[in-house]
Amino acid sequence: MKFIEFKDVTKTYSNGITACADMSVEIDKGEFVFVIGLTASGKSTFIKMLYREEKPTKGTVSVGGVNVGKLRNRKVYKFRRKVGIVFQDFKLLPNLTAYENVAFALECVGMKNSEIRPKVLRALEIVGLKDKVRSFPKELSGGEQQRVCIARAIVNEPKLLVCDEPTGNLDPKTSKEVMEVISNINHDLGTTVIMATHDKDIVNRMKKRVLVISNGMLVGDYAKGSYKASESN
Amino acid sequence: MAITRKEVIKQVKAIRIFFRSIRDALKSVVRNFSLSMASILSVTITLIIVSVAIIIALNVNHATKDIEKELNIVVYASREATEEDIENLLSEIKSNRKVRETKFISKEVQKTNMSEYDETFKTILNFLDENPLLDSVIVYVEDVKEMSTVASELKQIPNVETVKYGEGTVDEVVDAFDIIEKVTIGIVIALVLVTIFLINNTIKLTIYSRKSEIEIMRLVGASNTAIKLPFIFEGLIIGLVGAIIPICVTIYGYVILHNAMKGYLFSEMLKLIKPFDIVFQVSGALLAFGALVGMYGSLKAVRKYLKI
């Protein structure tokens, strides 16, 4: 069984819109996969089903052997602890410092302070923010906030890192830095990374596996380096 | 029974989450200072109103009870009654379960009382050879509402000449007091309900502004309990801090008021309750009320946003 499996997944929202139609895809452990597509193509739905923000209407989504769609609401939090999520809008807690934001993911598991400290500092070191530990989100730049968000996502040492347009709010230079951080995590820690994006430069430069989604359907699955985004896409 | 290592770890983690929630709640109150202040002030203002209402209600009821206590029935023994008859009469009155207290006044005592009261009485009473007065018993009843029933029951006792109580007026006074008591209790209950509603709403607003916080907590894998706890403690803190000023107002305010009015309300008939008989109980009630409503309000608000 593959690490991530989508089997005949269909997602229809209550307003009748089908965001995902009969999609099947498999992703291996340690892979780096881009998911691209236009706005409203269904790529966000695809990403959200990975961390059980949305449940499939039909078919099964399994992540690391867990049937995500069957998870009960009250049990979701245990699954979320095994998945790191990076958001376009960072989703940092505004009243907590960078350190506290990252530590929060471990504190709510009930971990000891003496265990939390080194892990948080290590995660912040990986993303290159060791000197901004005490800053509040509003005192950080967009790129720095996104790196805090990444640190929080990886501090649990998850097997899967889901990124929903992580560079959507960042300028090209900062985007490049953030992508480097994510790429290193994939390379050094062996974390599987699935990233939704519509930044063609990044996709072309990184030369990774690419899934193309259009109108809720998987229209292309390009192996590592075989995809070349053109202007028409 | 051996407790497994796994269970111990689980409990240790739960305890850690519990104490972290208290720390997070404190942190949040301090860092969201303006919002916390708004909630605390609304708790303060409403609790002051509740406190004033409670103290007024307690005093009104106290005053009416005081007056009711003074209401009594006077039983006059017949002139022919021997000492033994009077003994029997007294024990018979005392055996009535609706009677709270009795006071026997012999005609001699009554004579001296009246002589002391008025010179004219003295002259008249001394002029007569025989004491024209009757032996009497003053009867206080348990429940003033039953005064007329008790009076008619006492009339049946042998050797009773007449039974007197302020017939019509007593019933009216008792009825009026009954209404006053119900109205004051009604006002207090209404105020308490309004307070619960107001505090709930303020806290709901403060938590509403942090809706995204709850969402983020869920996304990074916090259990529902771990999300709820800090908010509940925050509500508790707001309720407790909000009760501080109302408690000071209650204690100092009532002591000062009591002294300024010399312990009476309008006339010497209406005594105010002594401050230290009630201020601490009322303060305790305010503190408990603030804490409970604060916790309940935030729990309710968080629950709303946890339903995803």
Q: Tell me: the pLDDT tens digits for A91-138?
A: 998 888 999 999 988 988 888 899 999 999 999 998 889 899 999 999
Tell how many helices (H) and how many strands (E) occur in chain A: 7, 10
Q: Side chain identity at B280, as an amino acid letter?
A: F
| CA gap B60, B58 in Å, rounded | 6
Decide if A108 and B308 are in contact by the 8 Å CB cutoff: no
pLDDT value, residue B245: 95
Nearest to B221 among A95, A108, A112 (CB): A108
Query: Do residues A108 and A155 make contact, with C-beta atoms less than 8 angstroms apart?
Result: no
* Residue A143 C-alpha, separation from nearest chain B C-alpha, in angstroms: 19
* Residue B297 C-alpha, separation from nearest chain A C-alpha, in angstroms: 22
Coil, strand or helix at B166 = coil
Percent of chain B with pLDDT over 90: 19
Percent of chain A with pLDDT over 70: 98
Range of the domain at A149: 4-16+28-222
| CA gap A166, B42 in Å, rounded | 41
Q: What would the pLDDT profile of B164-222 be if each residue is shown by its tens digit?
A: 887 677 778 888 888 988 998 899 899 889 888 888 888 888 888 778 888 888 888 88
Bridge partners of residue A209, in order along the sequence? A33
Window 215-254 of B: residues touching A by CB (8 A cutoff) are 215-224, 226-227
Average of per-residue pLDDT across A61-75: 88
Q: How confident is the model at residue A32 (pLDDT cuts 50, 70, 90)?
A: very high
Q: Which of A48, A104, A160 to mutate to test the interface with B (most CBs of B within 10 A)?
A: A104
Query: Do residues B36 and B29 make contact, with C-beta atoms less than 8 angstroms apart?
Result: yes
Closest CA to B157 of B173, B137, B177: B137
Nearest to B222 among A77, A87, A91 (CB): A77
Percent of chain A with pLDDT over 90: 44
The answer on pLDDT for B130 being more than 80 is: no
Bridge partners of residue A211, in order along the sequence? A35, A221
Q: Where in chain B is the domain with CATH 3.30.70.3040?
A: 72-164
A98: its two tokens = 């960078």
* Best CATH choice for the domain B72-164 from the list 3.30.70.3040, 3.40.50.300, 3.30.70.100, 3.30.1370.100: 3.30.70.3040
| CA gap A214, A21 in Å, rounded | 10
What is the Cβ-side half-sphere exposure of residue A23, based on CA atoms within 13 angstroms?
Answer: 33
* Residue A108 C-alpha, separation from nearest chain B C-alpha, in angstroms: 5
Residue in chain A nearest B12 by alpha carbon: A110
Q: Of the segments A184-198, B151-165, B251-265, which one has the largest average pLDDT value? A: A184-198
Residue A21 placed within a domain = no
Q: What would the pLDDT profile of B26-63 be if each residue is shown by its tens digit?
A: 988 888 888 889 889 989 999 999 999 999 888 888 88
Residues 6+ apart with CB under 8 A from A223: A209
pLDDT value, residue B9: 86
Query: Do residues B265 and B67 make contact, with C-beta atoms less than 8 angstroms apart?
Result: no
Nearest to A110 among B13, B28, B212 (CB): B13
Nearest to A104 among B16, B32, B220 (CB): B220
Domain count, chain A: 1
Coil, strand or helix at B168 = helix
User: Could you tell me if B14 lies within 8 Å of chain A, comparing CB atoms?
Assistant: yes
Decide if A77 and B32 are in contact by the 8 Å CB cutoff: no
The answer on pLDDT for A231 being more than 70 is: no
Q: Which residue has the higher pLDDT, A227 or B259?
A: B259
The answer on pLDDT for A232 being more than 50 is: no
Specify the residue for token string 């929060």: A104
Closest CA to B202 of B169, B242, B230, B256: B242
| Cα-to-chain-centroid distance, residue B125 | 49
Residues of A with CB under 8 A from a CB of B: 51, 53, 73-74, 76-81, 85, 87, 91-95, 104-105, 107-112, 152, 156
Q: Which residue has the higher pLDDT, A228 or B63?
A: B63
Decide if B219 and A51 are in contact by the 8 Å CB cutoff: yes
What is the Cβ-side half-sphere exposure of residue A200, based on CA atoms within 13 angstroms?
Answer: 8
Q: Please state whether the predicted TM-score (pTM) of the whole model is above 0.80.
A: no
CATH of the domain at A109: 3.40.50.300
pLDDT value, residue B96: 83
Nearest to B220 among A94, A105, A110 (CB): A105
**Phi, psi at residue B157, to the nearest 5°?**
-70, 135
User: Could you tell me if B27 lies within 8 Å of chain A, comparing CB atoms?
Assistant: yes
Decide if B218 and A77 are in contact by the 8 Å CB cutoff: yes
Q: Which of B6, B207, B220 to mutate to test the interface with A (most CBs of A within 10 A)?
A: B220
ipTM of the modeled complex:
0.81
pLDDT value, residue A169: 82
B25 burial via Cβ count (<10 Å: 0-12, 13-18, 19+): buried
Q: What would the pLDDT profile of A179-205 be if each residue is shown by its tens digit?
A: 998 999 999 989 999 999 888 888 988
Residue A231 placed within a domain = no
* Residue A159 C-alpha, separation from nearest chain B C-alpha, in angstroms: 14
pLDDT value, residue A107: 87
Residue A8 placed within a domain = yes
Q: Which residue has the higher pLDDT, A25 or B202?
A: A25
Residues of B in contact with A94 (CB under 8 A): 213
**Phi, psi at residue A197, to the nearest 5°?**
-160, 160
Specify the residue for token string 């039974």: B163
pLDDT, mean over chain B: 85
Average of per-residue pLDDT across B68-73: 82
Residues of B in contact with A103 (CB under 8 A): none
Residue A233 placed within a domain = no
pLDDT value, residue B308: 53
Residues of B in contact with A123 (CB under 8 A): none
The answer on pLDDT for B3 being more than 80 is: no
Dihedral Cα A153, A155, A157, A162, nearest 10 deg:
10
Decide if B223 and A152 are in contact by the 8 Å CB cutoff: no
Q: Side chain identity at B302, as an amino acid letter?
A: V
pLDDT value, residue A233: 45
* Residue B40 C-alpha, separation from nearest chain A C-alpha, in angstroms: 19
Decide if B223 and A77 are in contact by the 8 Å CB cutoff: yes
Residues 6+ apart with CB under 8 A from A35: A43, A46, A47, A194, A195, A196, A197, A210, A211, A213
Q: What is the 8-class DSSP label of residue B78?
A: P
A82 burial via Cβ count (<10 Å: 0-12, 13-18, 19+): middle
